[in-house]
Structure 1
Amino acid sequence: MAAEGLYLGLMSGTSADGIDAALVAFAADGACRLLAGRTFPWDAATRAQLLALGQGGHVDSLDEIGTLDVAIGEAFAQAALRLLAQAGVAREAVRAIGSHGQTIRHRPHGAAHDGRHPFTWQLGDAHVIAERTGIATVADFRRRDVAAGGHGAPLVPAFHAALLHDAGEDRAVLNLGGIANFTLLPAHGEVRGFDTGPANALLDAWCVRHLGHPYDKDGAFAAEGLVDAALLVRLLDDPWFAKAPPKSTGREHFHLDWLEARLRGDERPQDVQATLLELTAVSVADALRRTQPQTRRVIACGGGVRNPQLMRRLAAHLDGIALDSSAPYGLDPDFVEAMAFAWLARQCLLGRPGNLASVTGAAGPRVLGVVHPA
């Protein structure tokens, strides 16, 4: 199959703030360019349901899960069609859609954390997406990696490596989504990647609870507070931070109940927000020092790049390391993950691996995704 052409990536991450849609043009050599990108917000009721499920909430029936699976698929399909309409591109011009879906559980060590029956679960019926759009849809990217003994996450490092590796410089790519994760790109050597801990997920959840806003615009709420050093120690004392890669996590671990179990109860909300922001900055910097201390440049992407307070604290803790946005490298920081799933769809159709075993811990490279024909 020809490699060049248009692909469309769809992504809704841990923060569940919306569906990121990216229309990407690929050349035969793998070079890519974002033609159009937009985020389509979830309605408030659906987002509340997704957040509750993502942090361990229960459902009343299988009917509820089945209904949500189709509803998410419908929303993803509409996001794809709206983006194409706004870009003035006919659906027939798109070779395939790569749909991540919405993660509602990520248990790479199994539900009992005993290593038995590991799984990861993303909703968003790809049959619905293919039917509504008339475009071949590739979905269910993570489960093959889990079946091969991997974490099924993070998957984006393979895309980072293809586009951002530099033979003259040790780099790291930092994704600041709901969860923060690194891709380590040494000038020479094996690519690695792993989650470092919470980023926007906890910041957003605390902001919703105390301000009613979906996120902390410009980090203003955190800027009003002071870091609670004792609370920060209690948060960092979670054994997860000390685990060696490969490792991955999600809202099912780092959620408000996790936070509240570590609060005294008399903290000022803005001080907690400042401490959560500091938690992200410290855990990111500590993880990089432990795994690739020779790093000379960190390239940041994801929604957290839009938080100047977070970027300032990261720069402070990454003292001596250049911190850039991915924008100067031709990758809009808001749509890197959606672009990655367009790339993963292309990899699947070409019969090429989409994972990096050095990142996920899988037994080896695997072609990821299930194709749902147009």
Structure 2
Amino acid sequence: MTDGSPKGWITAIGMMSGTSLDGVDAALIETDGINVRRLDQSVFVPYAPELRENMRACFGNRSATNSEHVVADDLTQVHVCAVNMLLEKSGVAAGDIGVIGFHGQTVFHEPASGLTRQIGTPHMLAEKTGIPVVADFRLADVAAGGEGAPLAPVYHAALMKSAGVEMPVAVLNIGGVSNVTYIDTNEELLAFDCGPGNARLDDWMLRHTGNPVDLNGAAAASGNGDPMVEVKFLEDPYFDRVPPKSLDREDMAARIDGLVTEAKLNVSDGAATLANCTVAAIVAGVNHLPAAPKSWFVCGGGRHNTYVMTKLGERLGVRVRSVDVLNWDGDAVEAECFGFLAVRHLRDLPLSFPGTTGVSAPCCGGRLYTTQKAA
């Protein structure tokens, strides 16, 4: 037990299936809902190609379909496997885990209409693991008028407290969508989705090469970006919207795909152009920050794209580094986050704030599932 934590610490598993659709990350942390001890224990379980395509077919569904329920159960089973693998790897018994934070898979996100949908079967995960599960993290925030995303800022801030870096600082997550958390010495957080992250580039590579990723940014590095596509991309009104703001994975998809198709780009040039659009969206977001961050730390799969990381450093004019230099695990940060948020749910602590989702007041969230029922 630590000072300021009268209720003690909980060992939690956090799980994340992101918009990149690559698979499930699961990670162990210890937390009291305010402070964090990272345990450096995580696993990744990739989705089978068939399941990935079945999940992709659910995108854009404003309401559940019969086939979606089957997909939800199938992806939950992958989460069950991830929990079992993590417990075996770490040597921790299921009975020592206080809670699992289960995000599920976002298939539709339109907060302006009061809708955000994540598929998954939380009670199934609780039953098969014997561990209480917190899920439905975004619903309360959206119901209260918030964007429902991003939710990681409060975890980024908790980790950054002990990082010893000069403020202000930006923590950038590049998943299917990119989002930034701005952290200063005061207690106020500012965060928002910047724009498309890996999603458009991943889809481009899958369509043209059969491989759903530009490994290390090699294709982009060998190509020449089309500057006019980037200019037209930045004309999207989203970039002028004052944050907090959030995006669905498929927002801007048709527009970007149309611009790239119209430009008749080859595979490498298309990869470079889409990577440049990812970078441009992030750089455009600096206009909405109170001050320029002294440094940027990047988590998520996008930090493995050397081309994107190099371009970010060039265009931002400051150091851009992986969060791994802070002894964080950049592949597990988002998963760890949902373990942290699950414990905050148990402690009745808010998950989102006016500066992170635009909700009118700090908002608690999540629902607890213990075998058959949600609480």
Structure 1 residue aligned with 2:40: 35
CA distance in 1: counterparts of 2:288 and 2:342, whole angstroms: 33
Q: What is the SS of the residue equivalent to 1:280?
A: helix
The unaligned stretches of length 5 or more in structure 2 are: 1-5
Deviations along 1:110-131, whole A, 9 cap, x unmatched? 2xxxxxxx11000111000000
Instruction: Quote the sequence identity (%).
Output: 36
Alpha-carbon distance change, 167 to 23 in structure 1, aligned in 2, over 3 angstroms: closer
Q: 1:202 aligns with which of 195, 200, 203?
A: 200
Alpha-carbon distance change, 58 to 140 in structure 1, aligned in 2, over 3 angstroms: closer
Structure 2 residue aligned with 1:52: 57
Segments ≥4 residues shifted beyond 4 Å? 165-168
TM-score normalised over the length of structure 1:
0.92
Asked whether the 8 Å contact 1:192–1:358 carries over to 2, the reply is yes
Asked whether the 8 Å contact 2:243–2:288 carries over to 1, the reply is no
Q: What is the SS of the residue equivalent to 1:288?
A: helix
CA distance in 2: counterparts of 1:44 and 1:205, whole angstroms: 13
CA distance in 2: counterparts of 1:94 and 1:240, whole angstroms: 41
Once the 2 structures are TM-superposed, how far is the Cα of residue 29 of structure 1 from its aligned partner? 6.2
Structure 2 residue aligned with 1:114: none
Q: In structure 2, what residue type is equivalent to 1:39?
A: F
CA-based RMSD of the aligned residues comes to 1.9
Structure 2 residue aligned with 1:133: 129
Structure 2 residue aligned with 1:346: 343
Q: In structure 2, what residue type is equivalent to 1:98?
A: G
Q: In structure 1, what residue type is equivalent to 2:367?
A: V
Structure 2 residue aligned with 1:25: 30
State whether structure 2 residue 91 is matched by structure 1 residue 93.
Answer: no
Aligned residues between the structures: 363
Structure 2 residue aligned with 1:4: 9
State whether structure 2 residue 106 is matched by structure 1 residue 103.
Answer: yes
What does residue range 1-374 of structure 1 map to in structure 2 within 5 Å? 2-26=7-31, 30-54=35-59, 56=60, 62-110=65-113, 118-165=114-161, 168-188=166-186, 190-255=188-253, 257-262=254-259, 263-264=261-262, 266-319=264-317, 321-373=318-370
Alpha-carbon distance change, 205 to 259 in structure 1, aligned in 2, over 3 angstroms: same
Once the 2 structures are TM-superposed, how far is the Cα of residue 265 of structure 1 from its aligned partner? 5.1
CA distance in 1: counterparts of 2:68 and 2:117, whole angstroms: 11
Q: What is the SS of the residue equivalent to 2:246?
A: coil
Q: In structure 1, what residue type is equivalent to 2:118?
A: Q
Asked whether the 8 Å contact 1:33–1:330 carries over to 2, the reply is no
TM-score normalised over the length of structure 2:
0.92
Q: In structure 2, what residue type is equivalent to 1:91?
A: A
Once the 2 structures are TM-superposed, how far is the Cα of residue 142 of structure 1 from its aligned partner? 0.2
Asked whether the 8 Å contact 2:33–2:349 carries over to 1, the reply is no
Once the 2 structures are TM-superposed, how far is the Cα of residue 96 of structure 1 from its aligned partner? 0.4
Once the 2 structures are TM-superposed, how far is the Cα of residue 356 of structure 1 from its aligned partner? 1.8
CA distance in 2: counterparts of 1:363 and 1:37, whole angstroms: 35
Structure 2 residue aligned with 1:115: none
Alpha-carbon distance change, 364 to 331 in structure 1, aligned in 2, over 3 angstroms: same
Q: What is the SS of the residue equivalent to 1:354?
A: coil
Structure 1 residue aligned with 2:3: none
The unaligned stretches of length 5 or more in structure 1 are: 111-117
